[in-house]
Amino acid sequence: MATTQDTLPLLPEKPVKRRSRWWSVVVWLLAAPFLAWAALRLLGLDSGFPAVQLVAFTPYVAAASLVPLVVALLTKRVWPAVITAVATVALAACVLPRWIADSDPGPQDGPGLRVLSVNMLMGGADAGTIVALVRDLHVDLVALQEYTPEAKAALNAAGLDEMLPNAVSYPRPGVTGSAVYSRFPVTDLGYRHFPSDFGQAQAGVAVPGATDVRVESVHPCAPSDAHGASCWEHDIVQEPAATPEGAVNLLIGDFNATLDHEKFRAVLDKGYRDAADVAGAGFAASWPFDERWFIPGVVLDHVVADKRVGVRKVSVHRIPDSDHKAVFAELILPKG
């Protein structure tokens, strides 16, 4: 007589184990890029091409890291889930603070200074829109990059020199021109000329009731390829340090960098704060201006201020015929 054990078929153990092993491989393969990205960001290993470009998209990678974490949890892979969770938390710790306004925005009772940064895309940005922004936002100072002789003529024809009559102006063909226009008196402090041929207009600005202000219209070369990455690294390290006992330094412009770039964070370590980060507007993308689906928007343009400067608000604004949005910041200067 046959027993129950004799009549029941044996379970196919080997196929089940094989599927289990494949799932483990899949989960680890999904997790590995995020682990590598977290290490790159945390250790500041973004030097060279293409790392210097890729690290700009860290906020998107931080969000996407939830995918392998969910897969690991659903398939009950404990170690991949634990390690991916560590990477997700590390990336979130890097990017989420810029979405939250600082508890200490700096002094709020000194003289105000409203500033605007505009990359004019080889001088082609719509001058009328720029002048309208200056008027509507009651801007006191504009830093311009890629400022050409044609751009200078167009801006003046649109009335910029009437609203902001004081200027340090270095128009050049192409992408290396730079300018600072101000409502307040300015002193021409020269043109910081990088070996890459990019440069930055430097202006002393006399804001009534405030400590002396020094402004640069920032524009290191773009890390668009291997040569550009090297060029950008050489340019950005030359950004000046703040002078805590002297003039208030403002670096305003297109840094071609985000808060995820180690070289940009090194600039901040020279005595500065990023105004958008302070105001909780650190995800307000400035490039590309239309945030095309195949190039997610990133924050390349910044108002970087001496730590003595207070920040009230930061916003970005579209400029026709430029590939960057303009960045506006309302700052509070220390009293003179």
Categorize the per-residue pLDDT at 67 as very low, low, confident or very high, splitting at 50, 70 and 90. Answer: very high
What is the C-alpha separation between 106 and 327, in angstroms, rounded?
Answer: 20
Average pLDDT over residues 224-252: 96
Q: Which two tokens stand for residue 93?
A: 């710790």
Average pLDDT over residues 252-281: 98
Identify the pLDDT of residue 249.
98
Average pLDDT over residues 209-221: 97
Categorize the per-residue pLDDT at 291 as very low, low, confident or very high, splitting at 50, 70 and 90. Answer: low
The amino acid that residue 181 corresponds to is Y
Query: 299-328 burial by CB neighbour count: b if 16+ within 10 A, else e?
Result: bbbbbbbbebbbbbbbebbebeebbbbbbb
Q: Which two tokens stand for residue 78?
A: 């404990």
CA angle, 225 then 254 then 125, to 5°: 100
124 has pLDDT over 70: yes
> How many CB atoms sit inside 10 A of residue 175's CB?
21
237 has pLDDT over 90: yes
11 has pLDDT over 80: no
69 has pLDDT over 70: yes
- How many residues are given for the chain? 336
Identify the pLDDT of residue 106.
86
Burial of 169 (0-12, 13-18, 19+ CB in 10 A): buried
Categorize the per-residue pLDDT at 5 as very low, low, confident or very high, splitting at 50, 70 and 90. Answer: low
Identify the pLDDT of residue 315.
98
Torsion angle of C-alpha atoms 215, 216, 218, 221, degrees rounded to 10:
-170
- Give the residue from 199, 196, 314 showing the smallest Cα distance to 254: 199
293 has pLDDT over 90: no
Average pLDDT over residues 189-196: 96
Categorize the per-residue pLDDT at 230 as very low, low, confident or very high, splitting at 50, 70 and 90. Answer: very high
Identify the pLDDT of residue 224.
92
- Give the residue from 36, 53, 65, 24 showing the smallest Cα distance to 298: 53
Identify the pLDDT of residue 10.
53
3-state per-residue secondary structure call for 26-58: HHHHHHHHHHHHHHHHHHCCCCCCCHHHHHHHH
pTM comes to 0.92
Categorize the per-residue pLDDT at 44 as very low, low, confident or very high, splitting at 50, 70 and 90. Answer: very high
The amino acid that residue 248 corresponds to is V
Identify the pLDDT of residue 7.
56
Identify the pLDDT of residue 31.
94
Average pLDDT over residues 153-181: 98
Q: Which two tokens stand for residue 257?
A: 């960098």
Categorize the per-residue pLDDT at 13 as very low, low, confident or very high, splitting at 50, 70 and 90. Answer: low
- Give the residue from 294, 208, 192, 309 showing the smallest Cα distance to 250: 309
6 has pLDDT over 60: no
90 has pLDDT over 60: yes
332 neighbors 107 (Cβ within 8 angstroms)? yes
